[in-house]
Amino acid sequence: MSNITPIWFEKDLSIGQLSSFAPGTIAEHLGIEWVELGADFLSARMPVDHRTKQPYGLLHGGASCVLAETVGSVASAMVVDNTKLACVGLEINANHIRSAREGWVTGICKPLHLGGNTHVWDIRIYDELKKMICVSRLTVAVIPKKESFRQPSL
């Protein structure tokens, strides 16, 4: 049992609640699956297959960014009262450390900063041998929710 105070807005949030989050999105198209929800981290995995590879047969850097932005953006949405606030990406960067050709990669997201107007997330992507594939930083704006925003159900 962790001594870390959970960062999530809903204190009884579970990984199972994320399984049907945002159907019909790029995350679903790429086969991203939620893996673990800890007190201060969220992780998801993505297959390295025909949907996520570039022509050389390697994991596409853009697919790594999609995984990083997905897990970071969802983590931000879970930190705030999303009936009043929306979290939208401002900036993402990624350093591709090594390649992956098959299997699954897992992104683990932890907060670097959780402010009232911005969140900054550190996302590390690992292959099945626990070798780092990519390190990414995502900055998210926290803004008042507008009527036009679709309400994702967590």
Q: Which of 28, 33, 69, 102 is catalytic?
A: 69
Active site residue 69: yes
Residue in the block written with tokens 């450390």? 97
In single-letter form, the type of residue at position 89 comes to G
**Cβ within 8 Å of residue 129, ≥6 positions away:** none
Asked if 94 and 61 count as a contact pair (C-beta separation under 8 A), the reply is: yes
Nearest residue to 42 (alpha-carbon basis) of 64, 59, 17, 23: 17
Active site (catalytic) residues: 69
